[in-house]
Amino acid sequence: MLEAAGTVMWVQYIYILLTVAMGIAAIFKAAVYPGIAGLIGTTMCWFAGSGLKGSLLVGTGSQKLGGLATAIVFLVIGFGVVYHSGYWVSIFGYDLTGVAWCALGLVAGFLFTKKKYALG
């Protein structure tokens, strides 16, 4: 149903746009390290979810295992950087820790990556 409505990719676009906007806003509020960590860490978690889904959809057995290993590495680095920096976001009146925002990126990347996008 979401595919037919054309909203599948919009969820990912909105997540990335919000991530970039909030990271840049943090940098301009003199929180340079948390802002950069918010940009890099949350994007890595989104990459992990999207890459894992892509490798599961189109990969061979060894590519699926490699995709899982790479996703775990990206998640550990992304969560670690964001957690260490103390990054947090406030969106639509709700305060979220940076780790929660990373988890949303992981879910968005995994759920909304479709096979036709994974094929390139």
1 pLDDT higher than 70:
no
48 Rama sector, left if φ>0, alpha if ψ -120 to 50, beta otherwise = alpha
Classify residue 56 as exposed, middle or buried by CB count within 10 Å of its CB (0-12, 13-18, 19+).
Answer: middle
Which amino acid belongs to residue 35?
Answer: G
Residues with Cβ within 8 Å of residue 118, at least 6 apart in sequence: 53, 54, 57, 58
Q: What is the mean pLDDT of residues 13-29?
A: 93
**Above 50 in pLDDT, residue 8?**
yes
pLDDT at site 60: 87
Q: Where are the domains of the chain?
A: 2-118
Spatial separation of the C-alpha atoms in residues 9 and 50, rounded to whole Å: 12
Query: Could you tell me which residue, 97 or 2, shows the higher pLDDT?
Result: 97
Q: What is the pLDDT of residue 77?
A: 97
Q: What is the average per-residue pLDDT within 26-43?
A: 94
Q: Mapped to the 3 state alphabet, what secondary structure does 43-55 carry?
A: HHHHHHHHHHHHH
Q: Which two tokens stand for residue 56?
A: 């599961």
Q: For residue 74, give both structure tokens.
A: 């990206």
Q: Is the pLDDT of residue 5 over 50?
A: no
Q: pTM value?
A: 0.87
Q: pLDDT tens-digit profile of 67-89?
A: 999 999 999 999 999 999 999 99
